[in-house]
Structure 1
Amino acid sequence: MQFLFIVKATGYSEAGVNYSQKHTDAMIAYKESLASAGVLISAEALHPSSSGIRIMYPSDSEKPEILVGPFLADQELIAEYTLIDVNSEAEALDWALRMPIPIGRGEFKIEVRKLKKNLGFLRESGTWVLEADLKDQLSMLKNF
């Protein structure tokens, strides 16, 4: 089962304030432990919303509204995520509870969400990449 740990943005993360070296080292060790256990799929931090773009579709229109950040931190923005593959929700929660938190930076929120299984119309992203690469190679061969 795949679970996504969604670390919510704070005023600090939105301002681009770096964590302490102690916290950074703890996060590196945490992610290394996830990798060593063979459960880590991906873990990335996001830039602040000031560099983001939001596409909104009003309920009465198919025409999108394009908004440029920054967005308000109280809108439950995401600062980073970690994607893991484990055997149970309890195991996912155990890993989430091990994530280091930055002390002295106010409230810190981690949301744990289970990913839906492949619904049949979706393919693994790696399959898309391989297919595109094969098409490129076939195209090159046809041009010889």
Structure 2
Amino acid sequence: MRVMVLVKATVDSEQNMQPKLEDLAAMGRFNDELRAAGILRMADGLKPSSYGKRVAFDGADRTVIDGPFAVTTELVAGFWLWEVKDMEEAVSWVKRCPNPMPGPSEIEIRPLYEMSDLE
């Protein structure tokens, strides 16, 4: 089962506040554990939404919207792509993750569609 693990943005991440070196080291160790377990497929952090753009679709019309975007808690600051046996394994790994932000934060786990889901 493939899952996208989404680190939700915070006010701090949207202000481009950089993590402390010890927090980066802890996350690096966690990523090393994911690699060693054969779970990690990809991981990266995203720049704040002020660097981003959205394209809104309405029929044939396209409208480009410049960031930053409102509702910080609905934004994503980083992600992992994991291959796990089931959602319980994904939850177990997320519980072991160091807090990805300096204060309160959330991580969302979403399964990807597999070909068997579409048949």
1:35 corresponds to which residue? Answer: 35
Residues 75/63 of structure 1: CA separation in 2 closer, same or farther (3 Å cut): farther
2:64 corresponds to which residue? Answer: 66
Q: Does 1:52 align with 2:52?
A: yes
Matched length: 118
CA RMSD of aligned residues (A): 2.0
2:106 corresponds to which residue? Answer: 109
1:99 corresponds to which residue? Answer: 97
2:19 corresponds to which residue? Answer: 19
Q: Which amino acid aligns with 1:79?
A: A
1:130 corresponds to which residue? Answer: none
What CA distance in whole angstroms lies between the structure 2 residues aligned with 1:23 and 1:31?
A: 12
Deviation at 1:23? 1.0
Check conservation: 1:54, 1:68, Cα contact below 8 A.
yes
What CA distance in whole angstroms lies between the structure 2 residues aligned with 1:115 and 1:47?
A: 23
Q: Structure 2 unaligned runs (5+)?
A: none
Check conservation: 1:10, 1:73, Cα contact below 8 A.
no
Residues 49/31 of structure 1: CA separation in 2 closer, same or farther (3 Å cut): same
What CA distance in whole angstroms lies between the structure 2 residues aligned with 1:54 and 1:34?
A: 32
Check conservation: 1:11, 1:73, Cα contact below 8 A.
no
What TM-score does the superposition give when structure 1 sets the normalisation length?
0.75
What CA distance in whole angstroms lies between the structure 2 residues aligned with 1:103 and 1:24?
A: 10
1:78-89 matches, cutoff 5 A: 78-89=76-87
What CA distance in whole angstroms lies between the structure 2 residues aligned with 1:120 and 1:114?
A: 11
Deviation at 1:118? 3.0
Higher RCO by CA contacts (8 Å cutoff, separation 6 or greater)? 2
